[in-house]
Amino acid sequence: MKVLFAASEAVPFAKTGGLADVIGSLPKELVKQGLDVRVMLPKYGDIPAQFTQKMETIATFTLRMGWRELYCGILKLEHEGITFYFVDHENYFLRSGCYGYNDDAERFAFFCRAVMDSLQHIDFMPDIIHCHDWQTGMVPVLYRAHFSYQPAYAHIKTILTVHNLKYQGVFGKEQFMDYFTLGEEHFGGFALEMHGGASFLKGGLLYSDMITTVSPTYAEEIQTPYFGEYLDGLLRSQSHRLYGIVNGIDYEEFDPMTDPHLEVNYRDSLVKKQQNKVKLQEKLGLPVNKDVPLIGIVTRLVEQKGLSLVEHVIEQLMSLNAQWVVLGTGEHRYEQLFRWAADRYPDKLSTLITFNETTARQIYASSDLFLMPSQFEPCGIGQLIAMRYRSVPIVRETGGLKDTVSAYEEETGAGTGFSFTHYNAHDLLYTVNRAVSLYSDSQAWNKILANIKKKDFSWRKSAQQYASLYNQLVK
């Protein structure tokens, strides 16, 4: 079976969030299951030279977008056994970063058109086009409007995976009519219209053959008004073709036994994990003490990540017998909060307002606990990496956090972490306090770590679920 992934980012070429990790690792697991999976991405200016130098141009053609006639190049690169195609148009993509430009509607309209128009040029006609997030949401619309009736394309099925429903690609209706050559019938009533404009994501939800999202709980949550971002009614009406499949992580990429970023490599050795902690304490200027629990936060510093809860009880959290390290960038308010706390409590908290992969890995390896109190979390991979590095997660029970972390029960000894249900600062404080106090109970702690050890958060099981959906569609 031939599957083409269409996405706006993938590790190791371009990354702004978890989407890139998924696109970088899921295809490798699907190939192991016997599928022919290839990936199409924009050719951004920031892609490292070590990759661009190896790319070969396999096609150039003129792409029509409304009244425009535009150059489109397709470059090809084999990486870790996967064929990647890169859509080249310097005016749209030869810039730094992936998103946030005034012409994003036009840039990703071009990309969606290029995905469909390139098929006749790349010697790969997929059975399934698997689209990811709003940036590729219009691919199923274009397929249905302009390609589905042509014999060479008639067999193709489309899937849209929603990695975060909050980002919907809403732009002016006139832009959609222009870029996609669509008539009024695509905008009235049950169609692309959204907030007075039109939405890439809504197009994908309506016109794809199947919808998936990145955890079973998130698939349920987005059908409710609180999580549904004004699309809950639409998603409820499509629930018969909406599936939640939890994300995995690449176990070869995230392996504390072989991770080159770590001071000391280990698997289940608490002694070696503590050696990493001592090295990090020295590096960050925290008091060196292997017996005090270290709590890690590696995240975008934004409202979604539950940081308003931390803000409400920051002084009580700092009074606990624990040390903290925070790594991330984001909203000024939260950057300032953690800077202030690090100044006020230098023996308790180290704040790094940056993002650095080496430091992130060292925090996973050094921390005893890992905090993710998210307001909503489609899947989250921080908690999965933390468990892989034997750091015990503290999470709010939402989305993928609920699906991947089970609360520790003292009576039965079951559970892989600590969790709380309500979005409430004092519930957070109570849960962190419980985790910190149980850290000194070696019997309980070893039981939690043993439970984590039995879990498999690699892509294997999830890839089997995707393969099964593909088979269902094609049949």
315-328 pLDDT per residue, tens = 999 999 999 999 99
- Whether 235 and 319 map to the same domain: the answer is no
The domain that contains 354 carries what CATH number? 3.40.50.2000
Q: What residue has token string 């094609």?
A: 474
- Provide the residue count of the chain: 475
- Whether 45 and 188 map to the same domain: the answer is yes
- Whether 396 and 423 map to the same domain: the answer is yes
Count CB-CB contacts under 10 A for residue 96. Answer: 7
**Per-residue model confidence (pLDDT) at position 79:** 97
Closest CA to 308 of 369, 375, 263: 375
- Whether 83 and 207 map to the same domain: the answer is yes
Domain assignment present for residue 255? The answer is no
pLDDT tops 80 at residue 119 = yes
Backbone angles phi, psi at 241, to 5 degrees: -125, 25
Q: What residue has token string 């040029």?
A: 121
Q: What residue has token string 């990540």?
A: 305
60-107 pLDDT per residue, tens = 999 999 999 999 999 999 999 999 999 999 999 999 999 999 999 999
The CA distance from 387 to 390, in Å, is 5
- Whether 417 and 467 map to the same domain: the answer is no
Domain assignment present for residue 265? The answer is no
pLDDT tops 90 at residue 49 = yes
Whole-number mean pLDDT of the chain? 96
**Per-residue model confidence (pLDDT) at position 190:** 67
Q: What's the distance, CA 4 to chain centroid? A: 19
28-46 pLDDT per residue, tens = 999 999 999 999 999 999 9
131-177 pLDDT per residue, tens = 999 999 999 999 999 999 999 999 999 999 999 999 999 999 999 99
Domain assignment present for residue 258? The answer is no
The secondary structure element, H or E, covering residue 82 is strand 82-88
Domain housing 223: 2-248+460-474
Q: Residue 407 has what DSSP assignment?
A: B
Mean pLDDT of 4-26: 95
**Per-residue model confidence (pLDDT) at position 192:** 92
The CA distance from 323 to 283, in Å, is 14
The CA distance from 467 to 154, in Å, is 21
The DSSP bridge partners found for residue 73 are 60, 88
Domain assignment present for residue 256? The answer is no
- Whether 242 and 286 map to the same domain: the answer is no
Full DSSP string of 118-167: GGGTTT---SEEEEESGGGTTHHHHIIIIITTSTTTTT-EEEEEES-TT-
The CA distance from 392 to 227, in Å, is 27
Query: Over pLDDT 70: what percentage of the chain?
Result: 100
277-302 pLDDT per residue, tens = 999 999 999 999 999 999 999 999 99
Spatial contact of 232 and 225, defined as CB atoms under 8 Å apart: yes
- Whether 146 and 237 map to the same domain: the answer is yes
Domain assignment present for residue 432? The answer is yes
Domain assignment present for residue 422? The answer is yes
- Whether 346 and 237 map to the same domain: the answer is no
Q: CA of 339: how far to CAs of 262, 329, 343, 363, in Å?
A: 26, 11, 6, 18
- Whether 107 and 174 map to the same domain: the answer is yes
How are beta strands 392-396 and 369-372 bridged, if at all? parallel
Domain assignment present for residue 193? The answer is yes
Give the confidence band of 188 by pLDDT, cuts at 50, 70, 90: confident
pLDDT tops 80 at residue 7 = yes
Structural domains of the chain, count = 2
Beta strand segments in 91-216, E: 128-132, 157-162, 170-171, 193-194, 197-199, 210-213
Domain assignment present for residue 261? The answer is no
Mean pLDDT of 445-451: 98
pLDDT tops 90 at residue 341 = yes
- Whether 201 and 131 map to the same domain: the answer is yes
198-207 pLDDT per residue, tens = 999 999 999 9
Q: Residue 33 has what DSSP assignment?
A: T
- Whether 147 and 172 map to the same domain: the answer is yes
- Whether 358 and 215 map to the same domain: the answer is no
**Per-residue model confidence (pLDDT) at position 184:** 86
139: its two tokens: 């691919």
pLDDT tops 90 at residue 432 = yes
